[in-house]
A and B are shown apart, each in its own frame.
Chain A
Amino acid sequence: MTRPARIALKVVVWSICLAPLARLAYRAWTDDLGANPISFITNTLGDWTLRILLASLAMTPLRIAFGLSWPITVRRLLGLFAFAYVCLHFSVWIVLDFFFDWPRMWADIVKRPYITMGMLALLSLIPLAATSTTSMIRRLGARNWTRLHRLAYVAAVCAVVHYLWLAKVGVKDPYWYAAALVVLLGVRGWEWARRVIRRRRDRAQAAPPRVRSQAENPLS
């Protein structure tokens, strides 16, 4: 991928990821956030956290399924945007929704499973954001870094469950997100299984052929 193409791609990703924030700011400016602005802001930020998080998890499957290499160049950027959105989502909850009522918020985190799930998703994204720099990859070593960043799967599962558990009867959106996550993890699972099978076959072929005994030969 050429340098101008990479820059263009990043500009596109930045624009797409900032657009929802710009729209939210514009609606706030024009007093167009509806009758329950706090709930509207919280939900919008939560929606976009989930969308961008799933988009970041879609990059590897795109490579696996279509052999594309460009998605990997924006994977980190998407992950960091998902983290930015979840931080805003969480801040709105603290400041606008509960206005620093810490005991009340703590009670919800402990007692309300959907909030527990949301907290787990947020917590599992923190180490990923903290180790996102190239120097951190070097310090951890590629192997450890890759292992740590599997937390992204935990975050995505918790985030989807968070939405499934908070949505009321009849709301279909969380099921779509869950379906998307199943596909994204499914592609990885498929690829992983294929690799395991291939490795086993290679090992079997590399091993010296055993002489079949008479008893083992079904044709005799």
Chain B
Amino acid sequence: MLIRRAPRFTASEITDPTLYLSRRELISGAAAALVLAPGLGEAATPAPPALQALSATRHAAFSLTEPLTKVEAATTYNNFYEFGVNKDDPSRLGHTLKPRPWTVHVDGFVSKPKTFDVDELMRLFPLEERVYSLRCVEAWSMVIPWIGFPLAPLLKRVEPTGQAKYVEFTTLLDPNQFPAQKPGFFGFSSLDWPYVEGLRLDEAMHPLTLLTVGMYGKVLPNQNGAPVRVVIPWKYGFKSAKSIVRIRLVSEQPKTAWEKAAPQEYGFYSNVNPAVSHPRWSQADERRIGEFRRRPTLPFNGYADQVAALYTGMDLKKNY
């Protein structure tokens, strides 16, 4: 009698050859570091993994012509609470995140729910580079060349039904990969995990809304939200959810992580708006990382021509 045995590993567990090769690079890099290290102590610090290069054509109409923020700044000065609340936590601790294999579930009020492998997404949709300004709610900003594709065609592909009014993004929940998701002292946790963000459907379908897999010509570093994040340039940075595992189309406005943590400070819309202060500080100006003087903040972060029409008739002071 033939006894069928389940395979000892599934196809998804087979290491992708490019990943395998990058591991080889990592090992040889680490070996080189060992040889070069003057003391043994330095060998303990993991060498930053070599990021795979990504080719994409620049979308000139949707790209700023301002000088780019230095890549070192954009990859060491991050807010990514899953790694910790300090700006250097994500780059110091980011190595615990495993961006492959990775799948994104797209479901909710759609006719064709589907789970996409992140590599499949990168094959399905042509990648483009867009230079966007990123305005943090903490009144600093950067200019970053992202690589990705508009979210709209992905959403259309799963066919949202009439009930779909909002899009909810969920970040990976895994305390082994995100150390700050472990409850701390006295069960203290900075946010209610997993991180949830959301957009109105028309905001999500806007051509500026970019599902992003890379930056500065390479795949996303872990600290910037690998392997896939969203970038919504006219909203404060925290709206742009990182390390996304689920995109759900829903009928009710999602309750976002920051709204839960401090509703009077972080609203659902969170459009960049110099006229509406954060309750504790002014949003009238910002420090562009790398510049000395503050510069005035622009309505919708400078994207008013493209997006202001989404909010006609809305009181943006109330819907902050």
Q: Chain A residues in contact with chain B, CB under 8 A?
A: 34-36, 38-39, 96-99, 104, 107-108, 111-114, 165-166, 168-172
Contact = CB atoms under 8 A, between A and B. Distances in A.
A35 B85 contact: no
A35 to B, nearest CB: 3
Nearest to B285: A104
Contact of A172 (B74, B188, B191): B188
A163 to B, nearest CB: 12
Contact of A112 (B70, B85, B280): B280
Contacts of A97: 294
Given A36-B77, A112-B280, A168 B85 contact: yes
A165 B188 CA distance: 19
Nearest to A170: B190
A34 B294 contact: no
A170 B191 contact: yes
A171 B85 contact: yes
Overall SS of chain B's interface: loop
Interface in B260-275: 261-262
B95 interface: no
Interface in B185-243: 185, 188-191
B102 interface: no
A35 B287 contact: no
A99 B291 CA distance: 13
Contacts of A171: 85, 190
Given A169-B261, A169-B262, A170-B190, A114 B280 contact: yes
B77 A35 contact: yes
Contact of B280 (A38, A96, A98, A166): A166
Interface string B274-292: 0001001110010101101
Given A104-B282, A169-B191, A171-B85, 8 more contacts: A34-B76, A34-B87, A35-B290, A112-B282, A114-B280, A168-B85, A168-B138, A170-B85
A67 B122 CA distance: 70
